């Protein structure tokens, strides 16, 4: 039975997994359970902040919200601040392989023993407050950042913004990335309604950077910023990024910056170690945010510092799951894109990748609007359908049936790992395997490959 290991017990792998199971089983967790675990209210997190000594007031922060791109932007900002020599906290969600991915300082995950001690010390209060899994992790992150006396924390929201548990902070800067239709059951059925929820992170007289000027959302952000006297910047007015070529695991781009009435080539041939073409917009947003933050402090942005930081985002911050190459011959690529807007950016790059045949390992959650998602996938691919191993995973046979109605043909498999291994057996060296459809599908494959490495099995490709 899962339980919290006592502080005087050796924290071996078995006890650590018991702690994780306790957290997953005792605390409502949206990623696993869905709507029943979602708490659209700040009461619990405020109670936790009081319990923990108001740690959210003891560090400077940048707050990042959005439908897509907020995780990548957060990691880019963290890499830049680390390169500046600032002790940098980074809070993101969900995790892919290790719970501790959610909470990092200077790229290093929170220690297991610290997590254990935190949960052990406050378990009685948790029973009284009855927080969700997400509320606990936010509280844990804020306490850890306060204890470690971080100079800057980059905080990514969960689903929304206005009533997201992270929204108890008073950030120096708010960043809102791309807005798309996702989690409508919580945030609204239109882009304007969703934007209004995301705009909830805008604070009085604090600058806000908006990554996309869309006719359905721009007015929402402008009105909110004006009401709060918050200086507003649309990224496209200040920065533009143009793709040059793929290189290694990343890509080479040109960054243009507005100079007076024109544009200046500011960072020519910048190497970004993130390969997804969708990262161009995220890079522009991160640079706009960093530029605005630096201008507030009259700090010049050193271009060589930016090159060093952005060329090593993965290694500095531990970012995973964004156009991640998992193997070669056949090339295997995984991405966490899971909604229509995200997949609409990723799948064209999949098709543009040189290959003979395309194999797709795919799974989804049961509240996904598949009539919006399935038409985006290519009919020429062969599909390996599987159910993510979480309570809200959609059964593989049901997904196969729905996919068939959209012209997507393939077989259902008992598990994600079995689907992945079947795709590898079916693929030749010149083929391409794409793993996606859900964050949880890629998470299972990453964990599986990690176990194989730990046991000394040969690497993919």
Please identify, among 278, 301, 317, the residue that sits at the C-terminal boundary of a domain: 317
Please identify, among 317, 336, 359, the residue that sits at the C-terminal boundary of a domain: 317
Pair 89, 24 in one domain: yes
In a domain, 460, yes or no: no
Please identify, among 269, 285, 317, the residue that sits at the C-terminal boundary of a domain: 317
In a domain, 171, yes or no: yes
Pair 160, 59 in one domain: yes
Tell me how far apart the alpha carbons of residues 207 and 225 are, in angstroms, rounded to a whole number. 9
Tell me how far apart the alpha carbons of residues 141 and 223 are, in angstroms, rounded to a whole number. 32
pTM of the predicted model as reported, rounded to 2 decimal places = 0.93
pLDDT digits over 361-395, tens only? 999 998 878 999 999 999 999 999 999 998 889 99
CATH number of the domain within which 148 lies: 3.40.1190.10
Pair 86, 110 in one domain: yes
Give 10-residue mean pLDDT values along the chain (461 residues): 83 93 71 51 94 98 94 98 98 94 98 97 92 93 98 93 93 92 57 91 97 91 96 96 94 95 95 95 98 93 96 96 95 92 92 96 90 94 95 94 97 97 98 95 95 73 49
Pair 252, 134 in one domain: yes
In a domain, 4, yes or no: no
Pair 310, 342 in one domain: no
In a domain, 162, yes or no: yes
Q: What's the pLDDT score for residue 30?
A: 44
Q: Which domain holds residue 379?
A: 324-454
Pair 302, 328 in one domain: no
In a domain, 254, yes or no: yes
Task: Look at the chain and report how many structural domains it folds into.
Answer: 2
Pair 83, 140 in one domain: yes
Pair 294, 401 in one domain: no
CATH number of the domain within which 345 lies: 3.90.190.20
Q: What's the pLDDT score for residue 453?
A: 85
Pair 194, 115 in one domain: yes
Pair 270, 333 in one domain: no
In a domain, 2, yes or no: no
Phi/psi zone of residue 80: left (φ > 0), alpha (ψ -120 to 50 degrees), beta?
alpha
Pair 206, 289 in one domain: yes
In a domain, 459, yes or no: no
Pair 48, 23 in one domain: yes
In a domain, 260, yes or no: yes
Closest-CA residue to 381 (of 455, 445, 431, 312): 431
């Amino acid at each position: 039975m899962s339980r919290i290991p006592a502080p005087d017990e050796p924290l071996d792998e078995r006890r650590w997994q018991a702690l994780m199971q306790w957290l997953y089983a005792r605390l409502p967790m949206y990623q696993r359970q869905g709507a029943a675990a979602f708490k659209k209210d700040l009461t619990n997190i405020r109670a936790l902040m009081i319990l923990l000594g108001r740690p959210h007031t003891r560090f400077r922060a940048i707050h990042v919200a959005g439908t897509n791109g907020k995780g990548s932007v957060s990691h880019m900002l963290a890499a830049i601040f680390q390169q500046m020599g600032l002790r940098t906290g980074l809070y993101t969600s969900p995790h892919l392989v290790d719970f501790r991915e959610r909470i990092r300082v200077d790229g290093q995950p929170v220690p297991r023993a610290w997590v254990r001690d935190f949960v052990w010390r406050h378990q009685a209060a948790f029973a009284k407050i009855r927080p969700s899994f997400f509320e606990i992790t936010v509280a844990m992150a804020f306490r850890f950042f306060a204890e470690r006396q971080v100079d800057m924390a980059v905080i990514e929201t969960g689903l929304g913004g206005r009533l997201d548990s992270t929204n108890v902070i008073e950030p120096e800067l708010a960043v809102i990335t791309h807005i798309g239709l996702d989690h409508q059951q919580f945030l609204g059925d239109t882009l304007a309604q969703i934007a209004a929820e995301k705009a909830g992170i805008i604070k009085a007289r604090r600058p806000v950077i908006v990554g996309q000027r869309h006719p359905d959302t721009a007015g929402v952000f402008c009105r909110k910023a004006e009401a709060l006297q918050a200086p507003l910047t649309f990224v496209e007015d200040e920065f533009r990024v143009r793709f040059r070529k793929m290189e290694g695991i990343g890509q080479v781009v040109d960054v243009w910056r507005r100079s007076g009435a024109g544009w200046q080539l500011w960072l020519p041939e910048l190497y970004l170690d993130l390969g997804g073409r969708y990262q161009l917009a995220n890079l522009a947003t991160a640079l706009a945010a960093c530029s605005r933050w630096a201008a507030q402090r009259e700090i010049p942005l050193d271009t060589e510092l930016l090159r060093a930081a952005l060329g090593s985002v993965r290694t500095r911050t531990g970012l995973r799951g964004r156009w991640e190459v998992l193997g070669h011959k056949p090339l295997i690529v995984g991405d966490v894109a899971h909604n229509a807007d995200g997949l609409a950016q990723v799948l064209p790059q999949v098709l543009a990748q040189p290959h003979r045949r395309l194999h797709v390992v795919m799974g989804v959650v049961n509240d996904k609007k598949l009539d919006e998602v399935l038409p985006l996938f290519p009919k020429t691919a062969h599909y390996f359908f599987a159910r993510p191993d979480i309570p809200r995973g959609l059964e593989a046979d049901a997904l196969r049936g729905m996919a068939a109605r959209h012209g997507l043909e393939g077989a259902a498999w008992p598990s994600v790992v079995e689907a992945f291994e079947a795709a590898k057996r079916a693929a030749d060296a010149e083929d391409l395997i794409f793993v996606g459809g859900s964050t949880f599908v890629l998470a299972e494959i990453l964990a599986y490959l990690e176990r194989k490495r730990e046991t000394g099995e040969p690497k993919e490709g």
